[in-house]
Structures are given as structure tokens and as C-alpha cells.
Amino acid sequence: MAEGMVVRGLRRVRTLLADGGAARSLEGKQLVRIRDLLHECASGIGGEVSARQRAGRLAETYLRLNDEGRASFLRIVATEFGPNPELVAKAHADYQAAIGSDAQWTAESALRNAMRSARLRILTQFNTLSHGVKFLVDLRADLLRFVEKDAALRSLDRELESRLGAWFDVGFLELQRITWSSPAALLEKLIEYEAVHQIRSWSDLKNRLDSDRRCYAFFHPRMPMEPLIFVEVALTEHLADNVQTLLDEHAPVLDAHRANTAIFYSISNTQVGLRGVSFGNFLLKRVVDDLKRDYPRLVNFATLSPLPSFRHWAEKNPEPWPQAFSAADLERIKRHLTPEMPQPADASDLAKLLADARWMNDARLARALQHGLLRLAARYLLTTSKGGRPYDPVARFHLGNGARIERLNYLADTSARGQQQSYGLMVNYLYDPDTIEANVEAFSRSGEIAAAAAIRRSARD
């Protein structure tokens, strides 16, 4: 009964805010009351019903606050409910004195208890609400925005990330296939959350859920209508090399039982608040197992992936361009330039030419640029790094999960986004079940990148 009232209150506030209801700052008597409620949560005063009502009032208040108020709320939790430094210092001294004696293990337990933050007890109170898990995920999304300007929030962010990592352990998640018959509210979430290739209409979505397509998502039992991550799959008879062709609503539907290749063409994480909680690799492995069971003819499992940082890197690094584009390449390119196009003095100037998407519509110019762009992309994938890992975020994900760079595809995404990200290039990452584990180990141990011989030759040429 009490929890039902709390849940209805949270829903009412979410509706109010969605409809443009006023949000406010945290100040005056309300600030005092919030502190009192937080202290009661931290100390565990009262029974289970009281705890839920208290957590519900705090959550409802939080949702009514504007960004300034929410940042203040979180700063109170972060700075006023951490471990007691004096108790930690005493427990640490006792532990140091007890090392090697029978009392060491008791002292270790006492030190661990002293280090335990009251922040965790507060967060756990929210978790008891019916919509509490989603509330905490959204609260972490706020934290990730605020922590960039307020370092005092970092400890709270780390603790909440750790809690969410435990609550969203892959062992608790449910893999579900999403179909055209799934609830409309869930289908709307796919349209909202699609992060790679925008779903333009209901007919576009229906095409992506047709009989030669599959969509799988991970769900948490406490967030049954919120996909955490989903992957879209096309069943084909070849390694796909063009996303516009793959997403063509008017293309004939393939008999799925004739397919020998599964193309993962879009993977979308949906919850910003779960950043740092990784389950994408488990999703792909589970989906591969499901597909192999349903379609024994499938032998190839690959992606058609973007290179989201390629153009940004290329424009910031002119040095590799002359290595990728030979003098002969440059002469061929110049022969096909129209007077209004930028005239490159050398290969380092080609980024200015490629910034104008008109080159994609000139078949002869596009052919002249092809060899050099593919070489530049191969070097980008195999030689660039950031923090000791591949520079490209999509490459980091797939290589870290045991894939091999199989093929670069020229003009594979001619959309405005494809031009903006990678001059239209896309990559096939191949998941070979026989080599995945060896690739993961080599990549984790020494950063070794698995790549097809043709990719390696292109990077050396």
C-alpha cells in the first residue's frame, strides 16, 4: 500500500516534468529536510515500510529538482556520508598492529567495516522501490554530467558504478528477441535508443524485424520494458559491404534458412547511467549461440561497423596522408577535380577536398580516391592508439571481444553521418568461433590486433 503510493508519486512527478512542469533548486527548509531524510536513510531508522516511504520521498524530491538542485543533492550525499576518517585511521592502525597475530583477521574485518560508506546504505534504500533501479540508473546519468565540473562527486560515482555493476551482472540479465509482435511501447524504445543507424519510420523498423532479420536485447528483471543493450542482425548469403543496401526497405526478403552469414549491423547501449558496466560481449556470444541453434547453415558471424573517429583523426593528423596517397594517386585525383573544388598542393591537403561530400557523387573522382583512403583507414586501424588501446572506439570493442578486422568497405555508408564519421568507409569485423578466445588473450596480453592479410598489406603499402 505504502509502496504503491510512492510508485504513483514517482510516476506523477515524471509525468509532470515530461509535460514541462517546473523544476526547482534546493534551498532553505527543504535543504534541511533533505539532510534529515538522508541521515535517517544512512542510519536505517524505522522498519522496512518507513525506509521505503523515506526513499520514495527523497526520490520524488530529487525528480522535481532542476540541474542545480540535483547537483547540490548529490554533493551532500557525496561529501557528508563518506567513511569517517578518524575511524578509518584507528582501524588501520589496529590492523597494522595485528598483522601476524591471531587478531589480524578480526582487525581486517573492522578496517573493512570502517571503510564502508554510508552512501551505499542510502543508495540501497532507493533500490527497494519498484522503479528504484531505473531511478538509480538515471541518477548516475546525472552524476556523469555533474562530475566533470565537481570532482567531489567522483567517490559517489565510483560507488554507484560498482553497485550497478553488481546489480546488472550478466547472470541476472535476460536475453529476449524483439519482434514486430512485441509491445508497441518497447518498439518505440528501439526507435528512441537506436544509436548507429537512425530508424526513420515504422516501416523502417518493420523491415529491421522482418523474417530475415533478428533483434536481440538484454533486459534486467527490475526494468522489464527498458532494453539495456540491443543488437540488430541481418541474415544474408554474403559479407555485407553497404549499409544503405542492407537497410533498403524495398529489397526482397531472403529465406532465412538459406543464409550462411549473420551480419551484426547495429549495437546500441541505451542507458547512459550504465557507462562502465560492460555486457556487450556477453550479448554477442549469446546471440551467436541462439542463431547457430536456429540456423545450422550459418558459418560466418560478422559486423558491418562504422569508424566513428576516422575522419576526426585524419583531419587532425596530416602526416599519414602522403604515406597513403602516392604521387600517382594525387595526379589521378587532380585530373578529375572541377574548378570549384579545392586544389590540393600535396596529399596533406586532401582532407579539405574530402570535407565536401560532392566527391562521393563523382564516380571517377571517387575511384581515384579509393586506394589511398583504404590505405589510410588500414593504417588508422592497425597503428593508431589511445591509452595503449586502438584509437577507434568501435575497434576497441570488437577487437577486445575477439573479432578480426576482415575487410574495409569503400562508400559503404554514403549518408551524411557516414561522410561525417569516416568518409563513407565501414568495416567488417569477423567473429570466428575457433579463434575468438585466442584473439581475446593476445589482445589483452600485448595489444595484438587480429587482422586479415589484405588489411595488413594495405597498411604496409
Active site residues: 305, 398
Residue 169 grid cell: 551482472
Q: Which of 90, 64, 62 is nearest to 77 (CA)?
A: 62
List the end-to-end C-alpha distance of the chain, in Å, as a whole number: 71
Q: Please give the Cα distance from 392 to 309 (Å, whole number).
A: 6
Residues in a beta bridge with 24: 65
Backbone angles phi, psi at 389, to 5 degrees: -125, 165
**Per-residue DSSP letter, 309:** T
Residues in a beta bridge with 261: 236, 300
Where do the H-state alpha helices sit in 171-236?
184-193, 202-208
Q: Please give the Cα distance from 139 to 269 (Å, whole number).
A: 17
Q: Please give the Cα distance from 57 to 73 (Å, whole number).
A: 13
446, 438 contact by CB (below 8 A): no
Q: Please give the Cα distance from 417 to 437 (Å, whole number).
A: 33
Cα–Cα separations (whole angstroms), residue 397 to 74, 212, 303, 307, 357: 31, 26, 12, 12, 29
Bridging pattern class, strands 213-219 and 229-236: antiparallel
Residue 222 grid cell: 527490475
